[in-house]
Amino acid sequence: MAKKLALLFAALAVLAFAGVAHAEISVEILAVSPTDGTIAEGETAKIGWRIEADGSGTYSVEVGGDGTEGSGDQIAASDGSGSFGGTTTGTSTISADNDLEDGDGDYTIYVIATSGTETDYATTTITLDSPPDQVTGVLARRGDQKIFVTWDEHEDPDIDYYLVYYATHSGVDASDYDGVQASEGASPVDADLVTELSLSGLTNETTYFVRVSAVDESGSESPLSAESSATPTDTVGYAEMQGDEGNCFIATAAYGSYDHRMVRNLRELRDRVLLQSAPGRLFVRAYYAASPPLAAWIAKHPVARASVRAALQPVAIASRCEVRFPGSVSLSMITLLGLAWLAVRRRRHEEAK
Amino acid sequence: MKRLVVALALLTILCGGSLAWAESTQDIHWQESPLWGTWSFNAGLMFFNEEDYSDVYGDKGMVFYNMNAGLKLIADLELVGHIGYGFSEGRGISPQEKSKTDEWYKLHIAPGGLGLAYRFKFWLDQPVVPYIGGAGLVSYWMEERMESSWKRRGYNYGAMGYGGLMILLDNLERRASGALESTWGINNTYIFYEYRYTSLNNFDEDEIVDLGSQFHSLGLMFEF
């Protein structure tokens, strides 16, 4: 009897050992937060995992390695290791600063569970992508209706492009820079990979504030640079200082001053609208060729000056509108012509009746 | 300044190269043929008379390159044609504040002229030859604002007077001199310093871009 009992216990022991030895164990990653698995310096990622096992054992969360416990670097957080019994779920915290120490890049995270001689693991990837450092050396300098912004080349080789933020007031955050006036576009302006940008089409004697940021290839944007400012101003070269002002000759003669507001409006129309197209440039050339003698005559005759001023007033105002709101004058003209055509047609229709 | 150094280096190379090449030529002919003309190139600094110019382009002077061709008329009186080019770059001025902005301007000038020159040459192989001259000029000029379509251009006319000293190089290297003459017909080779005063404002017309200047230059002249 005793022998039979001994055999029975022995058989049970073998069965039990075999049962433990062949116990099923599996590890599964349930979720990663943030979902794209990308964090920056100073941030953490959470990994949710589940271990299914018949018995109890221990788990370890490691960075790198080959899936065997201890082959990688166990994460620093207290939830990076522990024990489990049966099916267990848990969350482990990956710290960019403490666990991802080789700089930007992809890190394979192993959740390894061991029960007896059985072991299993699951992996996920956490990407460390730190934003570029702040752009330095930002300097805004004044031009005529424009500012020139320059900055130092960023040392990070992954920089994809720079953004230039601008506004007519000082600011702190990106959202404070709400400039829309520059011909290059609304703030922020993509400066590509160069380290200088001209913002044109600005208003003279208005101060513009700028900051610059760098964006790397993964889309991470650096903090905004220090702020710089400049005030565009009317600028002349030697020719204009000498009196060859490329005059709106007739307008200057009529208004008596090159710096008269209305003359400036007409100059703006010339520089920003007419000189931008071939027909416009042809018109400007023809005007400069033909107008000086007429301007000289107008300048000597007060009645002629008054008449020309009266005639130029709407033109100068329209010039300002066209410069400030491109297309507005053309649109107004088309609308007026359309209305006139409709009126004429209606009148003819009534006369026909 | 850099451009001036390059121009002077070119002159030196041209001069030295010509002499060295000539020296290596075996066919030496010592008998000088009759002189009929000159060709010269000079480069130097042009200082404009107007302060407005200095305000925009600084007071260090424009590097200016010039070429002259002369035809002997009577004895050492020559009919001389001149053509040149120079440019300056500088920052524009805010007329309200009278201070510089960061708009860059570039001024090009390209004068050409015709006049007379007289060389005080009293004997054959005279080592130092003074000369004076004068010419009527027409100059094309263009000022452009960089990174912009803004341009001004025009023509000015005026006159210039000049004087200088030429140093005969042939006395230093007679073999090379003979070779130059037999091969190229160059009787004499000179280096020279020239001072030129130019008035280019349509003879004091108002409100015109005054291109009046003083020009100090060094050059190389071949006498044929």
DSSP codes, A151-210:
-PPPS-TTEEEEEEEEESS--SSGGG-----STT-SSSEE-TT-SEEEEESPPTT--EEE
To the question of domain B2-223 being in CATH 2.40.160.20, the answer is yes
Cα–Cα dist B166/B132, whole Å: 11
Can you give the pLDDT of all 353 residues of chain A as single tens digits?
Answer: 566 666 656 655 554 544 444 558 899 999 999 998 888 888 899 999 999 988 888 999 999 988 888 888 888 888 888 888 888 899 999 998 889 888 888 899 999 999 888 899 999 999 888 889 999 999 999 999 899 999 999 998 889 999 999 999 999 999 999 999 998 999 999 999 999 999 998 988 899 999 999 999 888 899 999 999 999 998 989 988 887 655 566 676 677 666 677 777 777 777 777 777 788 878 877 777 777 677 777 777 778 878 887 887 777 777 777 766 777 777 888 888 888 888 888 888 888 77
Query: Are B97 and A246 an interchain contact pair (Cβ–Cβ within 8 Å)?
Result: no
Q: Which tokens belong to B216?
A: 């100090």
Q: Which residues of B touch A242 (CB under 8 A)?
A: 50, 52, 207-210
Which pLDDT score, from 0 to 100, does residue B154 have? 85
Phi, psi (degrees; rounded to nearest 5) at A61:
-110, 120
Chain A nearest-CA residue for B105: A237
Q: What is the mean pLDDT of residues B196-208?
A: 86
CA B220/CA B100 separation, integer angstroms = 39
* Topology (CATH level 3) of domain A139-230: Immunoglobulin-like (2.60.40)
Give the Cα separation of B133 and B116 in Å (integer): 6
Per-domain residue ranges of chain B? 2-223
Set of chain B residues whose Cβ sits within 8 Å of the Cβ of A276: 149
CA distances from B106 to A71, A87, B88 (A): 68, 80, 6
- Write the pLDDT tens digit of every residue in A146-168: 999 999 999 988 899 999 999 99
Average pLDDT, chain B: 85
DSSP bridge pairs for A350 = none
Domain range annotation of chain A: 24-128, 139-230, 244-336
Shortest CB distance from A233 goes to which of B94, B206, B207? B94
The answer to whether domain A24-128 and domain A139-230 are alike in fold is yes
Minimum CA–CA partner of B88 in chain A: A238
- β-strands A88-95, A44-53: how paired? antiparallel
Determine which helix (DSSP H) or strand (DSSP E) holds A292, and give its type and residue range: helix A278-300
Asked if residues A120 and A65 have their Cβ atoms less than 8 Å apart, the reply is: no
Answer whether A143's CB lies under 8 Å from A232's CB: yes
> Would you list which residues of chain B are within 8 Å, Cβ to Cβ, of chain A?
50, 52-53, 55-57, 92-97, 101-103, 105, 107, 141, 143, 145, 147, 149-150, 152, 154, 206-210
Among A144, A148, A241, select the one facing B52 at the smallest CB separation: A241
Please, which contacts does B53-57 make with residues 24 or more away whose CB atoms are closer than 8 Å?
A: B53/A238, B53/B88, B55/A238, B55/A241, B55/B93, B56/A237, B56/A238, B56/A241, B56/B90, B56/B91, B56/B92, B56/B93, B56/B105, B56/B107, B57/A238, B57/B88, B57/B89, B57/B90, B57/B105, B57/B107
Find all residues with CB under 8 Å of B196, minimum gap 6, and list them. Answer: B160, B161, B162, B214, B215, B217
Which residues of A fall within a CB distance of 8 Å from B152? 237, 239-240, 244, 246
**For residue A69, which amino acid is it?**
E
Contact B107 A238 (CB under 8 A): yes
Residue A290: which residues within 8 A CB-CB, separation 6 or more? Answer: none
* Contact assignment for A233 to B96 by CB distance below 8 Å: yes
Both tokens of A79, joined, read 């939830």
pLDDT of B177 reads 75
| ipTM, interface predicted TM-score of the complex | 0.79
Q: Are B68 and B111 in contact (CB under 8 A)?
A: no
Q: Class for domain A24-128, per CATH?
A: mainly beta
- Side by side, which strands form the sheet with A189-190? A189-190, A159-167, A208-216, A228-230
Q: What is the pLDDT of residue A258?
A: 62
Sequence letter at residue B2: K
Report the residue from B50, B94, B141 with minimal CB separation from A234: B94
Residue A305 tokens, joined: 């000056």
Chain B residues with beta carbon closer than 8 angstroms to that of A142: 101-102
Could you give the count of Cα atoms lying within 13 Å of A270 in the half-sphere of its Cβ? 21
Q: Which residues of A touch B (CB under 8 A)?
A: 141-144, 148, 198, 233-244, 246, 259, 271, 275-276
What is the rounded end-to-end Cα distance, in angstroms, of chain A? 132
